[in-house]
Structure 1
Amino acid sequence: MNDIAMKQAVQAAVKPKFRGNQKLKSKVHTYYPESIEREYQRVTDAYMKLVKDVLKEYLPMIKDALMQEKGNVRKDDIRDLGLVVKDAFDAMHKQLEQKTESFGLRRKLEALAHLTRKLTIKEWKKVVKQTLGIDIMDDYYMGEFYREALNVWVEDNVNLIKTIPKDSLGRMKEIVQEGFKAGKTTNSIVKEIQRTYGIEKRHARLIARDQTAKLHGQLAKAQQTDAGVNEYTWSTSGDSRVRERHRELNGKRFRWDDPPVVDTKTGRRAHPGEDYQCRCVALPVFDIDTINVPIAKG
């Protein structure tokens, strides 16, 4: 069966569901994948723990050096401390590099990407079945359809995450050096190091949320536009974390080729999941004239 004949067959099969209307909204409400976000955050937590493990081993050495220098101020104190700090952080960087290389970050991110793919396929099949009353071909979304999007996402996320531990150590080294020069107490320097670790860990977690939403949104857009869906209804997560502008967009209809304004100050436009930390989703609006779902035989 050629593409035109397939499209006509699909239109004939779903026509009763439209009840004489031109368009039909999804009867299934999809949601932001919080379970995948949690899995991603578990990965970032474990990755950042590598920094914590290295700090736990070398921080006492740095702390002792600081206390000794504080109690025995000589002309060469800063230079001597600098050597101790340099040696310690050089060793920490080397050990951290070994730990991160054996962590398998890319492999873990690939697993998350494929988990997201499976979820979106399951969601999309449910939407099509309950809204249009037809089944999608089982293997349609298994090959090239996702490969490029998943590969790009994995590569981007490896680049976003992999440098955080190394950059964290660099900032901690500066904290020790600048703190000593400024005459800060050893405890205050150590607390600032620990606070920096906490900030970097939260930063990695925010990346996990942002990137989970982006991939989920990208795959949903690919599925819908491939099926001839040109419009969608914006839907928020419905909780207190939804930003005001996104709450204003909730329930409104937009086109995939014309994203709405998500920032009225800058005029920036985006689809659900594309804005930073956006957990909104796009609910498809089917059109009887453009629909072209890969229907299963029988």
Structure 2
Amino acid sequence: MSRRHRLAYDRAKPSAKSLFLRARKAEVQYARQLRKVARHIGDLVMGLFDQADPTSAGIVERALRRYAGTIEAWASSVGGRMVAEVAARDRKAWMAVSREMGTAIHREIEQAPTGALLRQRLADQVSLITSLPTEAAERVHQLTIEGLSKGTRASEIAAEIMRSGEVSAARANLIARTEVSRTATDFTEARAQSVGSEGYIWRTAGDSDVRDSHRAMAGKYVEWKSPPTLDGMTGHAGQFPNCRCYPEPVIPDV
């Protein structure tokens, strides 16, 4: 790591290391919006499913799939706000870096190819948000098939179908945490590579909830071109499901 300059260049300045911390506020706000979808899924199931009516499961399934089609514009708006907020937060962090290190990297940061990345991350969010009701519909379908093929008690199948809103809420929280963190890492990587960064220091949330494989990565230098494989998945800090880690870029001396 010779001739490299870490962002935590002055340990007397604790803010230097915290510049690229996870966007917790964005995650909370995004999760709140996605849980609205989960609540509506629960309302649809509660209102349409009738254990005594064998056709009601199909009615619920079709209603959920129709609902997925009606929320695309809303999903684009909500997803767009999240992506824009995370991108702006990352840019603000890099502007702070350029002020501390001089203006030499300012132009490179401004010219980083983030436009295509923003559009791709927005498309991903629309797909994920609309997947909440479609996944709920598929779950209802699978539970119904299971009841018919395995002879599962109708009351047990009904209880699971009625949990659709709860299951969707858990999925919504997972999407929010994963996607905010993944989006933040993607923008950090794009801007880091634009200024000649070849890698980063892996940082964790530093608490007891950090999974063992990620704790083992804490403080290690990782090249952008060589993301590690952990627990059967490959990615950088912040790009794994439910991951709260983040990359602290290592940039060339200016």
Taking structure 1 as the reference length, what is the TM-score of the superposition?
0.69
What is the SS of the residue equivalent to 1:238? coil
**Deviation string for 1:19-67 (max 9, x for gaps)?**
xx833221311211111111221121012222122223223xx14xx1x
With over 3 angstroms needed to count, the CA separation of the structure-2 counterparts of 1:240 and 1:95, relative to structure 1, is same
Distance 1:83 1:270 in 2: 44
State the match for 1:117 in structure 2. 87
The one-letter code sitting in structure 1 at the alignment partner of 2:133 is P
Distance 2:241 2:167 in 1: 18
Tell me if structure 1 keeps the 8 A contact 2:203–2:246. Answer: yes
**Is the aligned partner of 1:26 residue 2:22?**
no
State the match for 1:167 in structure 2. 135
The one-letter code sitting in structure 2 at the alignment partner of 1:104 is W
TM-superposed deviation, 1:116: 0.7
TM-superposed deviation, 1:93: 4.1
Distance 1:251 1:235 in 2: 6
Stretch moving more, 279-288 or 166-175? 166-175
State the match for 1:16 in structure 2. none
With over 3 angstroms needed to count, the CA separation of the structure-2 counterparts of 1:89 and 1:243, relative to structure 1, is closer
Distance 2:163 2:207 in 1: 29
State the match for 2:63 in structure 1. 92
**Aligned 1:51-70 pairs, distance under 5 A:** 51-59=41-49, 62-63=50-51, 66=52
**Is the aligned partner of 1:105 residue 2:105?**
no
1:239 corresponds, among 185, 207, 210, to 207
With over 3 angstroms needed to count, the CA separation of the structure-2 counterparts of 1:247 and 1:178, relative to structure 1, is closer
With over 3 angstroms needed to count, the CA separation of the structure-2 counterparts of 1:228 and 1:177, relative to structure 1, is closer
Tell me if structure 2 keeps the 8 A contact 1:234–1:282. Answer: yes
The one-letter code sitting in structure 2 at the alignment partner of 1:284 is P
Taking structure 2 as the reference length, what is the TM-score of the superposition?
0.80
State the match for 2:235 in structure 1. 270
State the match for 2:12 in structure 1. none
**CA-based RMSD:** 3.1
Aligned residues: 243
What is the SS of the residue equivalent to 2:237? coil
The one-letter code sitting in structure 2 at the alignment partner of 1:120 is D
Distance 1:110 1:192 in 2: 33
With over 3 angstroms needed to count, the CA separation of the structure-2 counterparts of 1:232 and 1:52, relative to structure 1, is same
TM-superposed deviation, 1:167: 3.1
Tell me if structure 1 keeps the 8 A contact 2:61–2:141. Answer: no
With over 3 angstroms needed to count, the CA separation of the structure-2 counterparts of 1:42 and 1:138, relative to structure 1, is farther
TM-superposed deviation, 1:275: 2.8
**Deviation string for 1:247-273 (max 9, x for gaps)?**
12211223223334434xx5x643212
Tell me if structure 1 keeps the 8 A contact 2:38–2:166. Answer: no
TM-superposed deviation, 1:173: 4.9
**Aligned 1:197-208 pairs, distance under 5 A:** 197-208=165-176
The one-letter code sitting in structure 2 at the alignment partner of 1:92 is A
With over 3 angstroms needed to count, the CA separation of the structure-2 counterparts of 1:279 and 1:256, relative to structure 1, is same
**Is the aligned partner of 1:283 residue 2:248?**
yes
State the match for 1:212 in structure 2. 180
The one-letter code sitting in structure 2 at the alignment partner of 1:275 is F
Larger radius of gyration: 1
Distance 2:230 2:31 in 1: 26
TM-superposed deviation, 1:107: 1.6
What is the SS of the residue equivalent to 2:5? strand
2:221 corresponds, among 249, 253, 258, to 253
With over 3 angstroms needed to count, the CA separation of the structure-2 counterparts of 1:57 and 1:125, relative to structure 1, is same
